[in-house]
Amino acid sequence: MKKKVFLLCSVLLLSFSAQAHRAWMLPSATVFSGKEPWLTVDAVIGNELFYFDHVPMQLTGLTITAPDGTTIQPENSAKGRLRSVFDVPLKQSGTYRLTVLNQGLFASYEENGETKRWRGTADSFAQAGIADKKALKVLEMMSRIETFVTSGKPDTRTLSATKQGLALQPITHPNDLAVNEAAVFQFLLDGKPLSDLSVSIILGGTRYRDKTEEQILTTDKEGKINIRWTSAGMYFLETDYKDDQTSIKEAKERRLSYSATFEVLP
């Protein structure tokens, strides 16, 4: 249990680190045809896009939503030194949503003249017995990492955004992206449009060029951004936000992050 909590917190801390580490899932492709194809996904926390150079992503928070809304399990999961990997049989026609959700609380306090630290979930905080500790500081974090994959004809059954935390509501289908065509994405905070949110979009392959070529867009009053893709390839999108809408009164700040991988075709 302690090991699982430590790994969860490590992922969250990396998500909010000032360093260049980014958490991403890289699908083998995002558009498939044919009878019951297979998807393979690499899951990584790294520096370059999309290059394996740091640590594997923990998959304890992985959810794969099939086109009919059911949750399916990954197959052939494995964790290597630099990446995690898993397969998904695409038995249904339509769009799949893959999400890794990590959330938890981080607390520090003083006890017997020493600084102590605690990490866990909001549900376990009360049982931890630290609510009345001296110099208590509690931070709540949530990171959501996603990608979308379609087998056959794209549909929208899995595209409705969650009403918890920072989330993406695609207006343009995420598996219908092409060079020089505009795409519209909407960002929601607890189910409501979030304006003035800064969003970064970067084409993969940063290891092989001198400039990042990052696009930074700001959401409008409806929480929407318009993206024009300049090149074909895999793109990484990320954004973060903080507020005081925590799930427990002891936590004074909530930090949220969202990232996703998209494929843009010629």
The pLDDT, as a whole number, for residue 4 is 44
**Residues 6+ positions from 247 with CB-CB distance below 8 Å:** 122, 140, 254
On whether residue 178 sits in a domain, the answer given is yes
Domain-embedded: residue 248: yes
Residue 260 in contact with residue 49, Cβ under 8 Å? no
| 144 domain-assigned | yes
Mind listing the pLDDT tens digit for each residue in 23-46? 999 999 999 998 889 999 999 999
| Region for 238 from its dihedrals, namely left if φ exceeds 0, alpha if ψ lies in -120 to 50, beta otherwise | beta
Handedness of CA 168, 25, 33, 67 (dihedral sign): negative
Q: What is the pLDDT of residues 154-209, one digit of tens each?
A: 999 999 999 999 999 999 999 999 999 999 999 999 999 999 999 999 999 999 99
The range of the structural domain enclosing residue 213 comes to: 2-104+138-264
In a domain, 109, yes or no: no
Residue 124 domain-assigned (yes or no) = no
The token duo for 4 is 């699982």
- Residue 20: the pLDDT is 56
Dihedral through CA 245, CA 249, CA 251, CA 253, nearest 10? 30
Q: Which residues neighbour 208 within 8 Å (Cβ) at sequence distance 6 or greater?
A: none
User: Domain tally for the chain?
Assistant: 1
Gap between the Cα atoms of 32 and 39, Å rounded? 9
Which DSSP string corresponds to 150-203?
EESS--STT-PPPSSSEEEEESS-TT--BTT-EEEEEEEETTEE--S-EEEEEE
Q: Which residues pair with 10 in a beta bridge?
A: none
Q: Specify if 114 maps to a domain.
A: no
pTM of the model: 0.88
Tens digits of per-residue pLDDT, 200-259?
Answer: 999 999 999 988 889 999 999 999 999 999 999 999 999 999 999 998 888 999 999 999
Q: What's the CA gap between 84 and 124, in Å, rounded?
A: 28
In a domain, 110, yes or no: no
Domain CATH number, residue 83: 2.60.40.3880
Answer yes or no: is 27 within a domain: yes
- Tell me the average pLDDT of the chain: 91
